[in-house]
Amino acid sequence: MKRFVFNFVLFLICVSFFVSITGCGEEKKVQNDLAVGNWIHVKNRTYILLILNPKGEWQSSIRIADASSKIVEAKGNAKGMWYIEEDRMIFTVTESDIEDVWEKNATIFFDIVELAETIIQLKDESGRIWIWTHTNSHKSGASEDNLASVIPMGLVAVNLNKNRSNDKDRYLCLNLNLILKELMPGQKMPPIHPKAREAAIIFLSSLVFNDVKDFDRIKQQSGKLVDVLNPYLDGFIKEISIEHVIVATEIDKVEEFIIEHGLTNEPIPEAGEEGNEGSEGK
- Report all structural domains of the chain as residue ranges with CATH numbers, in order of start: 34-134 (2.40.128.280), 144-262 (3.30.479)
DSSP output for 35-49: H-EEEEEEETTEEEE
What digits encode the pLDDT tens for the residues 28-56?
568 888 898 888 888 877 888 898 988 89
- Cβ atoms 183, 228 nearer than 8 A: no
- Mean pLDDT across the chain, nearest whole number? 77
DSSP letter for each residue of 191-206: PPPTTHHHHHHHHHHT
- Rounded Cα distance between 62 and 80, Å, is 15
> What's the rounded mean pLDDT across residues 5-25?
47
Dihedral angle over CA of 233, 239, 245, 247, nearest 10: 80
The C-alpha torsion from 245 through 250 and 251 to 252, rounded to 10°, is: -90
Cβ atoms of residues 169 and 215 within 8 Å = no
What tens digit of pLDDT does each residue of 211-222 get?
999 989 999 999
Per cent of the chain over pLDDT 90 is 30
Please say if the pLDDT value at position 6 is more than 70. Answer: no
Binning pLDDT at 50, 70 and 90, where does residue 141 land?
A: very low
User: Does the structure show a pLDDT above 90 at 2?
Assistant: no
User: To 10 degrees, the CA torsion angle through 93, 94, 95, 99?
Assistant: 30
